[in-house]
Structure 1
Amino acid sequence: MPSDKVSLSVRPRGKPLKKLPEEISAPYTGKAADLYSELATKSDISVHRLRIIKGSDGSLIPNSSDLSISQTGLRDQSTVYVKDLGPQIAWRTVFLVEYLGPIIIHPMLLALLPVSPPSTAQILSCVLITLHFVKRELETLFIHRFSAATMPARNIFKNSAHYWLLAGANIAYWIYKPNSPTARQHNSFFIYGGLLLFLLGEVGNLFTHITLRNLRSAGGKERGIPHGLGFDLVTCPNYMFETIAWTGILTVTWSLSTLLFVVVAVGQMGVWAGAKEKKYRREFGDKYTKKRSVILPGIW
């Protein structure tokens, strides 16, 4: 085998790619990302739509500049399978669209639904929920760094439904309609207590997002072990603080519609946090201090 080049057989997997070459040559010390770029150019398709799989064992070859072709286990005359993932959309775009729903819906329904001046709790509920999602939009624009550039375009409908319908229309209708529990909520203890929980949760969540951002360079995909506020307690303190913030909103709204969203959201975050704990243990081994709780200390 030549020491500087590998010749790879290329086969489609799933949907055929009309211009996919049957063979490609690449430098043995070249980057896996270069292999993606070369196949994307020759196939006349976006690199983000491609997934390359080793024919020998079916394992994924990541689109990474940190991994050489030799490190992937590919050898001269190896076979790779190329799959078209279909239309893609940027993660950042999906986040911006899905968070926009509650920002529009809550002020609109607060203006339309009440037949009398809204209560303090209704106004505060609108302010807190709107601020929460405005914060998410700003974090998406200025803080978050994504390990993957895109996701399947169809996901925007599923993700948006969660926020536009469950956090937007469903919560807004039941807390702003006349004679809702929120309209009758005048207990200062719950109003101020909820506001305090909201502020604690949002500030804590912001700091954890900044910590996670600083683990990765701009445009990089490197991973690190996070430390700092909350990270010694649970795997994902960003989800813990998110739960605290939404508990504050629930305390102010005093609505079953808010409770439904909190249960669904916390359940999903718990699943993600559990997967993150497994990933940390697998990736960092003894360097990582294992956590007993992934999202709520002593509970989950």
Structure 2
Amino acid sequence: MASQKLTLSVKPRGKPVKKLPEEVSLPTNGTASELYTQLATRAGTTVHRLRVTKGSDGAHIPNSKDLPLSTTGLREQSTIYVKDLGPQIAWRTVFLVEYLGPLLIHPALYLTLPYTSSSSSSTSGPSTLQTLTLTLILLHFLKRELETLFIHRFSSATMPLSNIFKNSAHYWLLSGLNMAYWIYLPSSPTSQPSNPYITYPGLLLFLIGEYGNLNAHLVLRNLRSSGGAERGIPKGWGFEMVTCPNYMFEAMAWGGIALVSWSFSTVVFAVVAVGQMGVWAGKKEERYRRDFGGRYKAKRSVMLPGIW
């Protein structure tokens, strides 16, 4: 017996999508992934540029091989709207590019700025604190690059191409040029002798923060199969205290760098980064509560215990 077909009416949302068919037919037991594949093939584009929503209520139909069309509420002759999201770029590529900025900028200014003063006190080159700060920053962003390559699993394959410029500006300018300039200047507080009562606690904060952040990323990685989009409830060190301990430990690591560098520019970047992570953590808590209901133990603090 031939499998039954589900025929859907297709309409563009926003600007027209070239070659978009007026209707598509799929097996009634087909998946959302098959719907995206057929639409992309017939429109001559990629599935990553398309966003499909239901005409009845505007609900998004995600591109998932694990989502049967029969569970989406679509019926024979239902209308779906297809939006062209524009040029896309892989999430992994964006992460690699944005973290590359500080990795290039900090060594470049470290090797030049300490020698820009004509005073004899600067002829000896970078101070111990400047060298230590450079080491911590390079370790931090090198760790991020390696996590991007070997640990992170993304629920979405791509993001709009324009995002690479916004994301890169945050890292290349704020944690790259701005931080490096003020840290490696001959007149920087970082050029002065270190205070062990400040430097050693900063180092301890950095080490705990980086280890905790890595551990949280490994927990999150193990919740999703390679190439999958499934979600789970994370458990483990830090996850019982806050929604996103990866952000909590990230904030801790940057607090450590700020203590070691003793530079206001590092504090500015840390405050901006923590603020953005707090917003993301709040949205993650809302998503956990919505997706898992009573199975999820709601958190009072999303990132900083008792504070945020």
Q: TM-score, normalised by structure 2?
A: 0.95
Match of 1:299 in 2: 307
2:43 aligned with 1:51, yes or no? no
Match of 2:118 in 1: none
* Gap runs ≥5 in structure 2: 116-121
2:136 aligned with 1:123, yes or no? no
**Structure 1 CA distance, aligned partners of 2:28 and 2:59?**
19
2:109 aligned with 1:101, yes or no? no
**Structure 1 CA distance, aligned partners of 2:307 and 2:7?**
53
Tell me the alpha carbon deviations over residues 156-203 of structure 1, each in whole angstroms, 9 at most, x when there is no partner: 000000000000000000010111111124212212221111111001
Match of 1:162 in 2: 170
Q: How many positions carry a matched residue from both structures?
A: 299
Match of 1:271 in 2: 279
Query: What is the identity, as a one-letter code, of the residue corresponding to 2:149?
Result: L
2:250 aligned with 1:242, yes or no? yes
Match of 2:229 in 1: 221
**Structure 2 CA distance, aligned partners of 1:139 and 1:185?**
34
Query: What is the identity, as a one-letter code, of the residue corresponding to 2:141?
Result: F
Match of 1:10 in 2: 10
2:162 aligned with 1:172, yes or no? no
* Gap runs ≥5 in structure 1: none
Match of 1:281 in 2: 289
2:155 aligned with 1:147, yes or no? yes
Match of 2:219 in 1: 211
Query: What is the identity, as a one-letter code, of the residue corresponding to 2:24?
Result: I
Instruction: Please show how residues 8-87 of structure 1 align to structure 2 within 5 Å.
Output: 8-87=8-87
Query: What is the identity, as a one-letter code, of the residue corresponding to 1:155?
Result: N
Pairwise CA RMSD: 1.1
Contact 1:185 1:254 in 2 (8 A): no
Contact 1:211 1:226 in 2 (8 A): yes
Contact 1:40 1:50 in 2 (8 A): yes
C-alpha deviation, 1:67, in angstroms:
1.0
1:201 equivalent among 177, 188, 209: 209
- Percent of counterpart pairs with the same letter? 69
C-alpha deviation, 1:76, in angstroms:
0.5
Tell me the alpha carbon deviations over residues 56-103 of structure 1, each in whole angstroms, 9 at most, x when there is no partner: 111111111111111111111111111110000000000000000000
**Structure 2 CA distance, aligned partners of 1:51 and 1:186?**
54
2:146 aligned with 1:138, yes or no? yes
C-alpha deviation, 1:238, in angstroms:
0.4
Q: Per the alignment, in what secondary structure is the counterpart of residue 114 of structure 2?
A: coil
2:262 aligned with 1:254, yes or no? yes
Moved more, 159-168 or 69-78: 69-78
C-alpha deviation, 1:227, in angstroms:
0.5
Contact 1:87 1:153 in 2 (8 A): yes
C-alpha deviation, 1:269, in angstroms:
0.4
Query: What is the identity, as a one-letter code, of the residue corresponding to 1:274?
Result: G
Contact 1:55 1:79 in 2 (8 A): yes
Q: Per the alignment, in what secondary structure is the counterpart of residue 267 of structure 1?
A: helix
Q: Per the alignment, in what secondary structure is the counterpart of residue 182 of structure 1?
A: helix
Question: Where in structure 1 do 4 or more consecutive aligned residues deviate above 6 Å?
Answer: none
Moved more, 235-244 or 178-187: 178-187
**Structure 1 CA distance, aligned partners of 2:185 and 2:260?**
15
C-alpha deviation, 1:3, in angstroms:
7.8
Moved more, 60-69 or 131-140: 60-69
Q: Per the alignment, in what secondary structure is the counterpart of residue 193 of structure 1?
A: helix
**Structure 1 CA distance, aligned partners of 2:194 and 2:147?**
33
Moved more, 150-159 or 69-78: 69-78
C-alpha deviation, 1:237, in angstroms:
0.4
Tell me the alpha carbon deviations over residues 119-170 of structure 1, each in whole angstroms, 9 at most, x when there is no partner: 1111011110111000000000000000000000000000000000000000
